[in-house]
Amino acid sequence: MNSRVGLVVDDRYLHHAISRPSQENPERLRRLAAIVRDRYRQKCRMYPARTAERVDIEAVHSRFYLDQLRQHAGNADPFSYDRDTYLMEDSFFTAELAAGGCLELADRIMDGTLDHGFALIRPPGHHAEPGRGMGFCIFNNISVTAQYLRRKYHLNRILILDFDAHHGNGTQEVFYDTDEVLVVSVHQRDLFPFTGKADETGSGQGDGYTINMPVFAQFGDLEYTFLLGRVLQSVMEQYLPQIILVSAGYDGHRDETISGTLLSTEWYSLITAMLKQYAHEVCGDRLLMILEGGYNPASLEVSVLTTIDSLLTMRRDKIGIFYSERANQILKNHPLRSCWTLQ
């Protein structure tokens, strides 16, 4: 029997747009959303996005920031927090739908309707900080989801994995001082936003609950699988998360120009299968993947499709993890060893 998979697909995500060229634009999802609807109509439960409520968003973002967004999003002229993060007439509402689509799937996973979910949303979120947007991101969708799960369902062991090529600085900031959300990020070093160093490990109650693995450009399937295989296996057994949330960024694909990482399409299927296995063993299959980056429409399309295929496929064999000396050098003196026992 296949896993019960839910997808959020909604054409209203195409409304956030600007006339000048931007890598984060509706064309990222236009064709992909149509393909997903057609290909998975009989295999997955399809959900439209709902609007995130103000209380949900204010659990992450300041009221001042929300008021600022409303003010600028209503103007005819575009407003930008940086060269990448623009606000147009429909941007605020679209961002509310992006966060709300994730909450819809979170509810369906928590009430037992679904095992797994994939939120095909935009704009992305993991760079958005509590008081400002940046790096294409307006609301931090995955952080809003984690806070919602803490508040509504009283979860206190949430694992966030971020495999986007860029570090999720906003997500890290939101959860840096708590042990109720463990944030694991593997990302290309010396790349925007130039955060996420290995010695950024959390503070106070959150000390040790931020794990950053900055990797070199040219790392690919072998290195990523070794790193995540070793770290996640250990973290899963020791932290015992109640749900796994994933910032699923596809801009580390080897056909992307925005990073120098060399991941193949097949790697996204493999990491999804690995996460499914961990979710099955540890947290009752609860796994929610949320779209972040991925700016080459062709590689984004095939990567998302192989991810959804992997969510649907029952796989019983263990994932093979082969040794990588280059990747092992990153773990050799990593600060995580002071908090977590690596297997």
Active site residues: 127
Residue 41 identity: R
CA 233 to chain CA centroid, Å, is: 19
Terminal-residue alpha carbon distance, the chain: 32
Sign for the pseudo-dihedral over CA of 90, 95, 98, 102? negative
Strands (E), 179-299: 181-188, 210-215, 243-248, 287-291
Taking residue 284's Cβ as centre, other Cβ atoms within 10 Å add up to: 13
Which among 326, 332, 248, 255 is positioned nearest to 297, based on CA atoms? 255
Q: How many helices (H) and strands (E) does the chain have?
A: 10, 10
CB 307 within 8 A of CB 209: no
Q: Where do we find the tokens 């600060």?
A: 335
Task: Give the 3-state secondary structure of residue 256.
Answer: coil
Cis, peptide link before residue 297, omega less than 30° from 0: no
136: left (phi over 0), alpha (psi -120 to 50) or beta: left
Give the separation between CA 289 and CA 120, rounded to whole angstroms: 9
Taking residue 70's Cβ as centre, other Cβ atoms within 10 Å add up to: 11
Phi, psi of 191, deg, nearest 5: -130, 155
Residue 128 vs residues 95, 250, 322: alpha-carbon distances, Å? 11, 18, 35
Both structure tokens of 50:
């709902």
